[in-house]
């Protein structure tokens, strides 16, 4: 078993990563100190976050993460700046309010993860979920945008899917699995 430190203050992300790593027999704790401001590239943001934690604890295995939601109807909004452009609470409602009935509801959720070893070497993995934004939030499970994203090939939102099915679609899960191979 390896213990990781995740460079995030986002409790939802940390809980999701805890569940993923537990399935591999690992554990993760959050980083309780300030992280640097984010830039314009998911991979660079994830790496800088991981390097900040590594500088504070050079013997730790560190996970850095950044993600963003791209809406086909508004390609210049959100994306790498999703967390800065949406409110901390009510994010799903804010996305739904952005979209007019005639807008394309196609969306891409991208997650980039960095695994930084105690040696300072690092790996990066990115995964994408192609989805449709639902008309209204649906489902009780999941985190983040799970209540409004309907994965391609599924008839319901991520939050309405059973956990075992939902996990197949989650880009953070897929990117982290790639890093742990």
> Measuring CA to CA, which residue among 45, 30, 16, 12 is closest to residue 112?
45
User: Which is catalytic among the residues 41, 66, 103, 141?
Assistant: 66
pLDDT at res. 142: 84
Q: Give the residue-averaged pLDDT of 107-134.
A: 98
DSSP string for 58-73: TTSEEEEEEEEEEETT
Categorize the per-residue pLDDT at 67 as very low, low, confident or very high, splitting at 50, 70 and 90. Answer: very high
Judge whether 114 and 100 are in contact, CB under 8 Å.
Answer: no
**What does residue 116 show for φ and ψ, rounded to 5 degrees?**
-110, 120
CA–CA separation, 129 and 68 (whole Å): 11
pLDDT at site 33: 86
pLDDT band at 80 (very low <50, low <70, confident <90, very high): very high
Residue 41: active-site member: no
DSSP secondary structure of 93-151:
HHHHHH--TTS--EEEEEEEEEEE-TTS-EEEEEEEEEEEE-SS---S--STTTTTEEE
**pLDDT at residue 151 greater than cutoff 90:** yes
The pLDDT of residue 10 is above 90: no
Q: Which domains does the chain have, with CATH numbers?
A: 3-180 (3.90.950.10)
């Amino acid at each position: 078993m390896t213990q990781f430190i995740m460079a995030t203050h986002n409790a939802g992300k940390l809980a999701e990563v805890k569940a993923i790593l537990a399935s591999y027999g690992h554990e993760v704790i959050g980083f309780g100190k300030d992280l640097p401001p984010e830039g314009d590239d998911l991979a660079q943001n994830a790496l800088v976050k991981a390097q900040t934690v590594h500088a504070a604890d050079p013997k730790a295995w560190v996970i850095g993460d950044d993600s963003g939601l791209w809406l086909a109807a508004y390609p210049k909004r959100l994306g790498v700046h999703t967390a800065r452009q949406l409110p901390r609470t009510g994010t799903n409602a804010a996305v739904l309010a952005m979209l007019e009935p005639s807008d394309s509801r196609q969306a891409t959720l991208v997650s980039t993860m960095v695994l930084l070893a105690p040696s300072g070497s690092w790996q990066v993995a990115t995964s994408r979920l192609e989805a449709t934004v639902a008309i209204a939030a649906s489902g009780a499970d999941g985190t983040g945008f799970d209540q409004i994203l309907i994965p391609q090939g599924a008839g319901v939102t991520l939050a309405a899917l059973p956990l075992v099915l939902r996990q197949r679609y989650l880009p953070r899960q897929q990117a982290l699995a790639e890093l742990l191979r």
